[in-house]
Structure 1
Amino acid sequence: MKDTSSAGNVVVDLATARENYLAEQEKDSPNVSVKFRYAQALTRDEKAENKTRGIGLLLDILDEHSINKVECLFTLSTTYFELGDHAKCRQYCERLLRIDPTNEKALNLHRCVKDTLTKDSAIGIGLAAGAVVALGIVLKFLLKNKN
């Protein structure tokens, strides 16, 4: 993938981002933007373990620095969504919306994850109800045969 500029952020491929990050770590005061770009590259990778590493770096940035908060929170939200962790996606999306309540991408993601969680809850309730009915039928059959 080539380097491209979008909304002021530079998107780089994972290998380049890793090289830049490792070189930056050798300095007395590493630039947090380099760490952020590496974290973004990791979260865009197809491998779940790279996404998880990216999440760790983003959480470090959130804890240690006051810059890139909105970008970190949005990247965390989308990465958790891609990994299927909808509860954490919603948590970080809501945290972002407390900082920037008009962030359109975050509002759309929040709506999407709420719909997904609602659908998952309905499916879970349906499965639980089905299991209770099945258990009742089995118990009735066992008690009938016991007599």
Structure 2
Amino acid sequence: ETGKKLVPLQQLEQATAAFEIHNSPLSEQAVLGFEFGYNVQESHRLVLWEAQYGDFANGAQNIIDEFVVSAREKWGQTPSLVMLLPHGHEGAGPDHSSARPERFLQLAAKTNMRIANCTSAAQYFHLLRRQALLLETDPLPLVV
């Protein structure tokens, strides 16, 4: 009625963190690069980047290779960026429905990232909660 923006999650008594959703242009490389940089500068925030379709990570592969995966080794950074990668969606076609998890498994070395595929809402909740609460964590490609 008043036109005031309402965010139900911020109405909870125990809500102490900001909750922001931003729409972005369809440019995976630019948007993932921005989200990565924002996460490095604001390490206390839980930052999630969602690929619209599984194969959209292809357009951001150079950011994933040069910054996300090698952040600890090359730059001494410990980003906690969560990358939501859609996978296994029926009817979307073979490319759109594959996040190519094998790529991320091949890129995994030492402690440069954690890779997960949740099968329940509880696992998803606790994984994001852990990612948000750890002081020093790794990027999390999450096959969803």
Q: Which has the higher contact order (CA 8 A, sep 6+)?
A: 2
Bigger share in helix:
1
**Which of structures 1 and 2 has the bigger CA Rg?**
1
The TM-score normalised by the length of structure 2 is 0.28
